[in-house]
Amino acid sequence: MTITEDRPDTAAPDAEIGKARRRKEDQRLITGRTRWTDNLTVPGMLHLAMVRSPFAHANITSINTDEAKAASGVIDVITGEDIKDVQGVNANAWPITTDQVTPTHLPVAVSRVACAGEIVAVVVARTPAEARDAAELVDVDYEELPAVLDLKEAAADTVIAHPDLGTNKCAFWKLDSAEQGSGGDVEAAIAKARTDGIVIEREYRQQRLIPAFMEPRSVLVDPTGEQMIVWSSTQVPHILRFLIAATMGIPESKIRVIAPDVGGGFGGKLQTTPEEFATIAISRRLGKPCKYTETRSESLLSGHHGRDQWQKLTLSAEKDGTVTGLKVDLLADMGAYVAIVGGGVPVLGAWMFNSIYKFPAYQFNCQTVLTNKTWVDAYRGAGRPEATFAIERIMDELAAELGRDPIEVREQNWITHEEFPFTTVAGMTYDSGNYEAATAKAKELFGYDELRAEQQQRRDSHDPVQLGIGVSTFTEMCGLAPSRILGQLNYGAGGWEHASIRMLATGKVEVLTGSSAHGQGHETAWSQIVADRLGVAFEDVEVLHGDTQIAHRGMDTYGSRSLVVGGEAVVRAADKVIAKAKVFAAHLLEASEDDLEFKAGRFEVKGTDKGLAIGEVALAAFAGHNLPDGAEPSIDADATYDPVNFSFPHGTHLCAMEVDTETGATTMRKYVCVDDIGTIINPLIVEGQIHGGLVQGIAQALWEGAEYDENGTLVTGSFVDYTLPTAADTINYVSDHTVSPSTTNTLGTKGVGEAGTIASTPAVVNAIVDAIRSFGVNDVLMPCTPERVWKAILTGSAKPAEGEREAAPHFDDGAPNQDNPDTSASTQGGAQ
Q: Which of 528, 716, 778, 797 binds other proteins (CB under 8 A)?
A: 716
In terms of Cα–Cα distance, which of 517, 112, 507, 136 is closest to 337?
112
**Is 791 among the residues that bind other proteins (CB under 8 A)?**
yes
**Is 419 among the residues that bind other proteins (CB under 8 A)?**
no
The full 3-state SS of 558-582, as one line of letters, equals: CCCCHHHHHHHHHHHHHHHHHHHHH
Q: Which of 172, 538, 622, 703 binds other proteins (CB under 8 A)?
A: 703
In terms of Cα–Cα distance, which of 697, 714, 658, 649 is closest to 676?
649
**Is 663 among the residues that bind other proteins (CB under 8 A)?**
yes
**Is 832 among the residues that bind other proteins (CB under 8 A)?**
yes
**Is 744 among the residues that bind other proteins (CB under 8 A)?**
no
Site for other proteins, residues 105 to 144, rule: CB under 8 A? 128-129, 132-133, 136
**Minimum Å distance from CB 38 to other proteins?**
12
Region label for 267, one of left (φ > 0), alpha (ψ between -120 and 50) or beta (otherwise): left
**Minimum Å distance from CB 290 to other proteins?**
17
Q: Using the rule CB under 8 A, give the single segment among 38-46, 192-200, 676-684, 716-724 that binds other proteins.
A: 716-724
**Minimum Å distance from CB 39 to other proteins?**
16
**Is 606 among the residues that bind other proteins (CB under 8 A)?**
no
**What residue type is 669 in one-letter code?**
R
**Minimum Å distance from CB 579 to other proteins?**
54
Residue number with CB closer to other proteins (11 or 727): 727
**Minimum Å distance from CB 656 to other proteins?**
19
In order of 405, 441, 550, the CA distances from 452 in angstroms are 10, 16, 56
Q: DSSP string covering 670-684, please?
A: EEEEEEE-BS-S-HH
Residue number with CB closer to other proteins (356 or 702): 702
**Is 584 among the residues that bind other proteins (CB under 8 A)?**
no
In terms of Cα–Cα distance, which of 404, 407, 400 is closest to 200?
400
Residue number with CB closer to other proteins (663 or 774): 663
Residue number with CB closer to other proteins (132 or 358): 132
In the chain, % helix, strand, coil (3-state, to 5) comes to: 30, 25, 45
Residue number with CB closer to other proteins (571 or 655): 655
Q: What are phi and psi of 689, to 5 degrees?
A: -60, -40
Residue number with CB closer to other proteins (317 or 784): 784
Residue number with CB closer to other proteins (128 or 507): 128
- d(CA 369, CA 151) in angstroms, rounded, equals 7
**Is 233 among the residues that bind other proteins (CB under 8 A)?**
no
Residue number with CB closer to other proteins (195 or 732): 732
Name residues whose C-beta falls within 8 Å of residue 819's C-beta, 6 or more positions apart in sequence. Answer: none
On the CB side of 116, CA atoms within 13 Å amount to 23
Q: What is the DSSP letter of 804?
A: T
Residue number with CB closer to other proteins (543 or 831): 831
Q: Using the rule CB under 8 A, give the single segment among 85-93, 485-493, 584-592, 661-669 that binds other proteins.
A: 661-669
On the CB side of 397, CA atoms within 13 Å amount to 29
**Is 39 among the residues that bind other proteins (CB under 8 A)?**
no
**Minimum Å distance from CB 806 to other proteins?**
13
Per-residue binding string, other proteins, 253-292, x by CB under 8 A, is ----------------------------------------
**Minimum Å distance from CB 163 to other proteins?**
31
Q: Which of 318, 436, 638, 707 binds other proteins (CB under 8 A)?
A: 707
Per-residue binding string, other proteins, 289-328, x by CB under 8 A, is ------xxx-------------------------------
**For residue 818, how far is the Cα from the chain centroid?**
30
Q: What are phi and psi of 774, to 5 degrees?
A: -65, -15
Max Cα distance, the chain (Å): 87
Residue number with CB closer to other proteins (401 or 660): 660
Q: What is the DSSP letter of 418?
A: G
Question: Residues 42, 222: contact at Cβ < 8 Å?
Answer: yes
Site for other proteins, residues 206 to 225, rule: CB under 8 A? none
Give the count of beta carbons closer than 10 Å to the beta carbon of residue 31: 8
Q: Using the rule CB under 8 A, give the single segment among 345-353, 423-431, 636-644, 780-788 that binds other proteins.
A: 780-788
Which helix (DSSP H) or strand (DSSP E) does residue 392 occupy? helix 384-402
**Is 786 among the residues that bind other proteins (CB under 8 A)?**
yes
Q: How many helices (H) and strands (E) does the chain have?
A: 22, 28
- d(CA 792, CA 739) in angstroms, rounded, equals 40
Q: Which of 320, 419, 539, 721 binds other proteins (CB under 8 A)?
A: 721
**Is 725 among the residues that bind other proteins (CB under 8 A)?**
yes
Residues 811, 816, 821, 825, CA torsion sign: negative
**Minimum Å distance from CB 437 to other proteins?**
36
Question: Residues 478, 568: contact at Cβ < 8 Å?
Answer: no
Name residues whose C-beta falls within 8 Å of residue 752's C-beta, 6 or more positions apart in sequence. Answer: 560, 563, 649, 675, 677, 686, 689, 690, 693
**Is 711 among the residues that bind other proteins (CB under 8 A)?**
no
Name residues whose C-beta falls within 8 Å of residue 108's C-beta, 6 or more positions apart in sequence. Answer: 78, 79, 80, 83, 87, 119, 120, 121, 122, 274, 278, 281
Residue number with CB closer to other proteins (170 or 792): 792
Residue number with CB closer to other proteins (40 or 665): 665
Q: Using the rule CB under 8 A, give the single segment among 284-292, 527-535, 686-694, 725-733 that binds other proteins.
A: 725-733
**Minimum Å distance from CB 238 to other proteins?**
31
Residue number with CB closer to other proteins (102 or 293): 293
- d(CA 472, CA 655) in angstroms, rounded, equals 9
N-to-C CA span, the chain: 49
Q: Which of 416, 592, 667, 718 binds other proteins (CB under 8 A)?
A: 718
Strand extents, DSSP E, 53-114: 58-64, 74-79, 112-113
Residue number with CB closer to other proteins (568 or 806): 806
**Residues near other proteins, by CB under 8 A:** 128-129, 132-133, 136, 295-297, 662-663, 665, 702-703, 705, 707, 715-716, 718, 720-721, 723-726, 728-729, 785-787, 790-791, 832
